[in-house]
Amino acid sequence: MNVSSDVATFGPLRIASVHSRLPLAELPASPMIAVPWHLRRIASDCIELPKVPLPSLTHVRVPGLDCTIALPSYGGDAVQTFRDYVGALQRKGIFASGDPAFAEDEQRIATLLQTTTATQAPQPRLSGRPVVGIVVSSPLMLLDRDHSRLESHAYLKDAIARIRAEGGEPVIIPPCADIHAPNPGTVTRIAACRALAQPLRGMVGMGGDDIDASMHGASNELCINTNHARDEFEACFARIALSRPLFALGVCRSHQLWNVIFGGTMFTDVQRQGASSVPQSQRGIELPLSEPYVLRDAKGNVLFANWVELAVGSQLSHLVRPFAAGCSAAMQPWAGAGLLAILTNSNHHQAVARIGVGFKLAGWSPDAKAGVSLIESTERWNALTSQWHPEYMKDPMQRGILRTVVNRAAIFDRLHDLVARGSGDVATIYSWAKARNRFSDADLLWIKTDLARNFEHVRRVIEADLGH
């Protein structure tokens, strides 16, 4: 494979032979040491629990972060709620790693959080834009400070700016957002997650540290920087949010977690478990995540390139299809000649091994030396997931993935308005979207297929929100 030739000709896209696909990597047999998350009662409780009173939401802003932070309120004004939240984080030591090497840094971060000045912010819905929640997994992301463990803050700020530029209104869903609840427990958590999810029309789950392997019944032996309390909150929130009328993008850690909570399993270290012949973190070779992962030897020869082959008919294949316009007609994948493949970045050492129920395989990365492919992308009717980080990459094809989230959030926002007036149906929303230039052919196809198949569920949820 001549990577430089492919990139020069097609951009970060090529056509892969449909007959050359390597088998998906399989997880080595191992005893289950914990009950996986999807088998615990909370998984069904998230959907089946009778209606409980929802807490009100409060929204705050902190210096340097051009986005509101949403928190459930249990008394007091917005500023006091933020203080209660930060105080509970520090008091309960949820994000203390226990590693002496990080102790000084963690204490400094805790002090910064405690002294951060928060101000009350207006409800995001008042902006008139579809609200897109950004789920972050570390309280570090709430700070605009220069310290050693805040490498991705610039990318968060970029994601915030891009969501707003595409017409969405971003709002941060912070880690363990219900930690300050006076009566913690399953019912309290579900109520908090429902309250946080209800205003959202879109959601982006960001990357982060490793998932605690007990979430999928495995051992933490090969994991790094796990945090069970954080994972439990994110799992409950994601399960509730994905059952609602919104469109979501799960990146890296979120790609993994969302599959796990629906019964998927994971490689806790892809290289040590034989699923990859190379390290999957390009930061190890000092290659910025804005660039695709192409590993070369000292002479410049390509040893590995992270080409993600896309399943025919997948949502992602429809999204990138316009970028294949430069391919000859005989090579068009939708004519049966092959599969679209996109060149992506890579920054992980864990990966999905078995896809969660309700998700479908959308993309995989073949590793000829290992003789297997890694799962790189999955999808369900209202979500896309990617093992790579499209939000870091510069090329328009990758940036179009985030635009799709905002576009479909706008569709759900319009549906809420239509159902409230008693006039919502698929034909009406399709006509509305087709009359506007912002929506792509992939968006229109999604309305006619995935949204249409799930429309009655969507209507029921919206009517319940409206109290009908």
Tens-place pLDDT, residues 376-425: 999 999 999 999 999 888 888 888 999 999 999 999 999 999 999 988 89
Cα–Cα distance between 168 and 129 in angstroms, integer? Answer: 5
Rounded distance, CA 101 to CA 413, Å?
Answer: 46
CB 363 within 8 A of CB 379: no
Mean pLDDT on 423-437: 94
Q: Which helix (H) or strand (E) holds 236?
A: helix 228-242
Q: Are 331 and 325 in contact (CB under 8 A)?
A: no
* SS3 at position 60: strand
Lowest mean pLDDT, pick from 101-115, 226-240, 254-268: 101-115
Stretch 14-23: mean pLDDT: 58
Torsion angle (degrees, nearest 10) of CA 325, 328, 330, 335: 0
Contact (CB, 8 A) for 112 and 62: no
| pLDDT score recorded for residue 153 | 66
The pTM is what?
0.90
Provide CB contacts within 8 A for 140, sequence distance 6+.
109, 147, 149, 150, 153
Residue 256 binned pLDDT confidence (cut-offs 50, 70, 90): very high
Compute the distance between CA of residue 433 and CA of residue 211 in angstroms, rounded to an integer.
38
DSSP per-residue letters across 113-143: HHH---EE---GGGGSS-EEEEE-S-GGGG-
| pLDDT at position 73 over 90 | yes
The model's pLDDT over 367-388, given as tens digits with 9 standing for 90+, comes to 888 888 999 999 999 999 999 9
Question: What one-character-per-residue DSSP string does 135-195 give?
Answer: E-S-GGGG-----TT-TTHHHHHHHHHHHHHTT-EEEEE-TTTTTT-SS-SHHHHHHHHHH
Tell me which residue of 447, 404, 449, 456 sits closest to 428, measured CA to CA: 447
Q: Would you state the pLDDT for residue 149? A: 47
385 and 255 in contact (C-beta within 8 Å)? yes
| Residue 107, pLDDT score | 67
CA-CA-CA-CA dihedral for 229, 230, 236, 241, to nearest 10: 170
Counting Cα atoms < 13 Å in the Cβ hemisphere of 383 gives: 29
> Region 11-30: what's the mean pLDDT?
64
